[in-house]
Amino acid sequence: MAKLLELEDLRTQFFTTAGTVKAVDGVSYDIEAGETVGIVGESGCGKSVSALSILRLVPDPPGKIVGGKILFMGRNLLELSDVEIRKVRGHEIAMVFQEPMTSLNPVLTIGRQITETLEQHMGIDRQEADARAVELLGMVGISDAERRLKQYPHHFSGGMRQRVMIAMALSCEPKLIIADEPTTALDVTIQAQILELMKDLTRRLGVALIIITHNLGVVARYADKVNVMYAGKIVEKGSARQIYHNPSHPYTIGLLASVPRLDHKRGTKLVPIEGQPPDLTLLDQGCAFRPRCRFAEDICTREIPPLEEVGGGQYSACWQKDKLSQPAPAAS
Amino acid sequence: MYQYIVKRVLLMVPTLLGAAVFVFFLLRFIPGDICELRMVGEGGYVDESALATCRAGIGIDKSIFLQFVDFMWGFVIFDLGTSMWTGQPIGYEIGLRFELSLQVAIMATVASVLIAIPLGTLSAVKQDTWIDYVVRGFSIAGIAMPSFWLGILIILFLLIGTQAFLGEAWMPPIVYVPIWEDPGYNLSMLIWPALATGYRYSAVATRMTRSALLEVLREDYVRTARAKGLLEKIIINRHALKNSLLPVVTVVGIEFAFLMGGLVVTEQVFNLNGLGKLFVESVLNTDYTLTQALVMVVVAVFVLVNFLVDLLYAWLDPRIRYS
Ligand SMILES: Nc1ncnc2c1ncn2[C@@H]1O[C@H](COP(=O)(O)OP(=O)(O)O)[C@@H](O)[C@H]1O
Ligand code: SF4
Ligand SMILES: [Mg+2]
C-alpha cells in the first residue's frame, strides 16, 4: 500500500530562556491509508508536539521545526505556503484534541463550529452545511441533532463534546485524523465508547488514524502499529502485537508492567517505572532512559542507541535489545 | 431573562435610596450653610435676623428630618425643587448641562471604542513587531497624559494653527447649542473635549483589548480553529474577539459613567458648562438641593450603565445566563 504520511527525521525545538527544549528529536514513522497508528509515551515526551508539527501548529515563538520532512501523499508539508497548509488543515488532515472542555469555542454554537469548516473547505453554502452537520452528528451518535446544533458547548458533557470534535474532524472527509489523547480527560466508561466510535468510523470511512496516548493498553487494542516515544525520540516501533507481547526496549517493558493486562493472571502487581523523564533541555550523548534503566551498561552512557530492527519489522533503540528476552534482573 | 431585567430594575430602587440617604446626611456635615456663604461673601456686617430670614426662605431652618422628608418626597412627585443658589428649578439647571455632558461622553466613548478595538486587535495580532510597539506607545502616552493637559494642547494648536494658516486665530465656540439645532456649530465646539478625553479613554481600552486578545489567542479553541484551516481573519474576528470583549466592555462602561460628571477640569479648560462644572459650583455654594440632585443623577447613570454592561455580558457569552 502507498504511504499516506511519512515523517523523516522530524526535529522540533522550543527556544526558551531555560534553554533549547528538544521536544521532538529525529522522529521518523509512516502511516498507510486507512491504517491506525498509536504513539505512546509518558507525559512530556513530545507526543503532542510531534502531532502539532505535522500541521505546523506548534506555537512559534517559542517553537520551531528545525529539521526533517513531513511527506503527505508525496508533498512535503514543511515546504507548503501558508495558504497551502491551511487547505490541508481540517480538510485532508484533521485533529481531535485532548481537552474537550476547552477545545470548543464557548461563545459559538456547535452547529456554527461544524459548518464553518465545511464552508471553508468544501465551498458549500450555509444551508448545505447545516444539512451535512445534522448528518455528521447522527454519525457520531448524537440524537436530536437539529436542536443540539443550536446549543453551545457548555450544554454538552465531556464525552458529547468529544463526539462533536470527532464530527468536526470527519466533516470534510479527511484522509487522516490525528487524535491527541482524545479520551484522557474522560471517565473510563466514556473513554471506551469514544475509542470504539473513532475506530469504527475511521475503519468504515477508510480514514487513517494517529492515536496518541500514554496508555499502552489503549494502543494495543485499537492500533495496527505502535511507536513508543521517550524524550523526543521513538525508542521502539512495531505492530501492536509485537509491542504488547514481545517488547524489546526496557522502557516499553516498564510501561507494560505499569498497566493492567488481561493476559496476565489477576493480582499481578503493577510496577510503575521509577524516576522521572529527563529534562529535554539537558540531553547528553548517552541513552536518555539510562537513569531509570535496569539494563544500563557502560556504552549506554557514551552513545545514543540507534533504532535498529530486532526482527519481523520490529525496531528498538537499545544497546541491550538482544539481551532483554532473559528475565529482567530483579529491581535492586 | 425578562424576569431578570425586571428584578434588576427593581433592585435599582434600594441602591438609589441608599445613595440618597448617604449624600443627604454627608452634605449636612459640611460646616456653614448657603446663607452664611452668600452674606459673608457680600462682605460687611451680617445681621442674625437677616440670616434667619434667608434660611427660612429656602427652608434650611426646618429640622433635618423634615428636610429629608421633603427630599424623598421630591423623588415621588418627580420634582426635586429649586436650586438654593440660583432659585431656578433643578430640573432646568441639570437639564441644560446634562445634554452637553452626555454628548461629550457619547462622542468620546464611540471614538474610543472605534479606535481601541481595531488598534488593540492589530497590536495583539502583530505582537512584538514595530506595529505593536507603536500602538503600545500610543496607549501608554494616552494613559500618562492628563486629558485637561491634552485639552490645553489642543486649544493652543488650534489657535496657533489657525493663526498660521488662516491668518486669524480661531477658538472653538463656548456657547452651547444642541446638535439638532446647528450640528456644525455644535460639533466644532464639542469635538475637542471629546477628543481630549477620548484619547485617554481609548488608550485604556486599547491596552485592555490587546491583553485580553493575547490571552484568548492562547486558548485551546483558537488552536482548534487553526487546526480546522480557517482563515486568520475568521479566527480573530469570529473566534477570538468576542471572547476577549468582556473586560473591554467593563472598562468602557466604567469610563462612560465617569465621563458623566467627572470631567471637572477638562470642562474648565474648554469652558464648557457641563455637569462637572455645575457639580463643583454647587458644592462650593453648599447648594444642598442641587448637589443632592447631581449626585443622584450620576449614581443613576452608574447603575444604568452597570445594568447595560451586564446585559452585554450575557449577549457576548452564552454561558452567562441570568435568572
Ligand atoms: N509552548 C511550549 N514552550 C516551551 N516548551 C514546550 C511548549 N510546548 C511543549 N513544550 C515542551 O515540549 C516537550 C514535549 O511536550 P508535549 O509534546 O506536549 O508532550 P506530551 O508527550 O505530553 O504530549 C515538553 O518537555 C514540553 O515542556
Ligand atoms: S540503551 Fe542502555 S540505558 Fe538505554 S534503554 Fe537500552 S539498556 Fe537501557
Ligand atoms: Mg500531550
User: Quick check: A328 pLDDT over 60?
Assistant: no
| pLDDT on residue A332 | 39
Distance in angstroms (rounded) separating the CA atoms of residues B321 and B314: 6
Question: Residue B274: pLDDT band by 50, 70, 90 thresholds?
Answer: confident
Distances (CA, A) of B150 to B72, B108, B136, B266, B269: 41, 14, 18, 9, 10
Residue position matching grid coordinates 506595529: B131
pLDDT for res A325: 67
Mean pLDDT of all residues in B244-257: 89
Placement of cell 486568520 in the chain: B232
φ/ψ of residue A32, rounded to 5: -95, 160
Cα–chain center distance at B154: 21
Chain A CB within 8 Å of residue B9 CB: no
Dump pLDDT digits (tens) for A228-243. Answer: 999 999 999 999 888 8
Cα of B269 vs its chain's centroid, Å: 17
- Cα separation of A9 and A202, whole Å? 27
Give per-residue burial for B164-201: e unless 16+ CB within 10 Å, then b: eeeeeeeebeeebeebeeeeebbeebbbbbbbbbbbbb
Amino acid at A280: L
Taking residues B115-134, what's their average pLDDT? 93
Q: List Cβ neighbours of B281 (8 Å cut-off, separation of 6 or more).
A: B85, B287
CA-to-CA distance for A16 and A58, rounded, in angstroms?
14
B323 pLDDT above the threshold of 80: no
A266-290: buried (b, 16+ CB within 10 Å) or exposed (e) per residue?
A: eeeeeeebeeebbebeebeebbbbb
How confident is residue B76, by pLDDT bands cut at 50, 70 and 90? confident
Q: Read off the pLDDT of residues B9-36 as tens digits, 9 standing for 90 and up.
A: 888 889 888 988 888 888 887 777 777 7
Q: What is the pLDDT of residue A84?
A: 93
> What residues in B contact A152, CB-CB < 8 Å?
318-319
Q: What's the whole-number mean pLDDT along residues A300-326? A: 85
Print burial letters for A192-202: b (CB count within 10 Å at least 16), e (below 16).
Answer: ebbbebbbebb
pLDDT (average), residues A85-111: 91
Report the topology of domain B96-279: MetI-like fold (1.10.3720)
- Say if strands A93-96 and A176-180 run parallel, antiparallel, or are unpaired: parallel
Is residue B208 scored above 90 in pLDDT? yes
- Count of residues for chain B? 323
* Residue A296 CA, distance from chain mean position: 28
The answer to whether A203 contacts chain B (CB < 8 Å) is no
Spatial separation of the C-alpha atoms in residues A53 and B33, rounded to whole Å: 76
Report the pLDDT averaged over residues A165-188.
89
Beta bridge partners of A315: A237, A309
pLDDT of res. A284: 79
pLDDT digits (tens, 9 = 90+) for A246-277: 889 999 998 888 877 767 777 677 777 887 88
A230 lines ligand 2 (CB under 6 A): no
Least-confidence region, from A185-189, B111-115, B184-188: A185-189
Question: How far, CA to CA in Å, does A84 sit from each of A56, A60, A121, B42?
Answer: 12, 18, 12, 83
Which is higher by pLDDT, A321 or B150?
A: B150
Asked if A184 reaches chain B (Cβ–Cβ under 8 Å), the answer is no
- Please state the separation of Cα A215 from the chain's center in Å: 11
What is the full DSSP assignment across B52-120? HHHHHHHTTTS-HHHHHHHHHHHHHTT---B-TTT-SBHHHHHHHHHHHHHHHHHHHHHHHHHHHHHHH
Task: Report the separation in Å between the CA atom of B216 and the middle of ligand 2, taken as the mean of its atom positions.
Answer: 43
Mean pLDDT within A192-214: 90
Burial of A325 (0-12, 13-18, 19+ CB in 10 A): exposed
Other CB atoms within a 10 A radius of the CB of residue A141 amount to: 16
- Residue B289's closest CA among B126, B128, B79, B96? B79
Judged by average pLDDT, the poorest of A14-18, A286-290, B122-126, B168-172 is B168-172
Q: Give the lowest-confidence range in A293-302, B39-48, B170-179.
A: B39-48
CB contact under 8 A, B223 and A106: no
- Range of B21-35, B46-60, B246-260 with top mean pLDDT: B246-260
Q: What is the mean pLDDT of residues A87-103?
A: 90
Pick B315 or B30 by higher pLDDT.
B315
Cα angle, residue A130 at apex, residues A82 and A54 outer, rounded to 5°: 25
DSSP string, B247-280: HHHHHHHHHHHHHHHH-HHHHHHTT---HHHHHH
Specify the 3-state DSSP secondary structure of A269. Answer: coil
Long-range contacts of B164-171 (CB under 8 A, 24+ apart): none
Q: Write the single-letter amino acid at A312.
A: G
All residues at 6 or more sequence positions from B33 whose CB lies less than 8 Å from its CB, including other chains? B55, B60, B286
Mean pLDDT rounded to a whole number for chain A: 88
Interior CA angle at A88 toward A86 and A89, to 5°?
65
pLDDT band per the 50, 70, 90 thresholds, residue A330: very low
Residue of B220, B229, B317 with shortest CB distance to A90: B229
- Percent residues over pLDDT 90 in chain A: 47
Q: Is A65 in the pocket of ligand 2 (CB under 6 A)?
A: no
Q: Find out whether A234 and A27 touch, Cβ atoms under 8 Å.
A: yes
Q: Which residues on chain A are in Cβ contact (under 8 Å) with B243?
A: 105-107
- Class for the domain spanning A3-92+174-324: alpha beta
Q: How far is the CA of A252 from the centre of ligand 1 (A)?
A: 21
Q: Does residue A6 contact residue A32 with C-beta atoms inside 8 Å?
A: no
Residue A329 pLDDT: 46
Q: How confident is the model at residue B147 (pLDDT cuts 50, 70, 90)?
A: confident
In terms of C-beta density within 10 A (0-12 exposed, 13-18 middle, 19 or more buried), how is residue A298 classed?
exposed
Tell me the percentage of chain B whose pLDDT exceeds 90. 27
Nearest C-alpha neighbor of A281 from the set A77, A61, A47, A13: A13
Distance (Å, whole) CA A198 – CA A176: 12
Angle between helix A158-170 and helix A188-205 axes, rounded to 10 deg: 10
Q: Which of residues 230-259 of B touch A (CB under 8 A)?
A: 230-231, 234, 238-239, 242-243
Please tell me which of A219-223, A256-260, B36-40, B203-207 the model is most confident about, judged by mean pLDDT: B203-207
- State which residue of chain B sits closest to A109, comparing Cα positions: B318
Strand A314-316 relative to strand A308-311, pairing: antiparallel
* Contact (CB<8Å) B227/A95: yes
- In this predicted structure, the answer to whether residue A220 has a pLDDT above a threshold of 90 is no
Task: Tell me which of B68 and A206 has the higher pLDDT.
Answer: A206
Output the CA A77–ligand 1 centroid distance in Å.
21
The mean per-residue pLDDT over the stretch A119-125 comes to: 88
Q: Mean pLDDT, to the nearest integer, of A59-88?
A: 91
B219 interface with A at CB cutoff 8 Å? yes
ipTM: 0.88
SS3 label, residue A235: strand
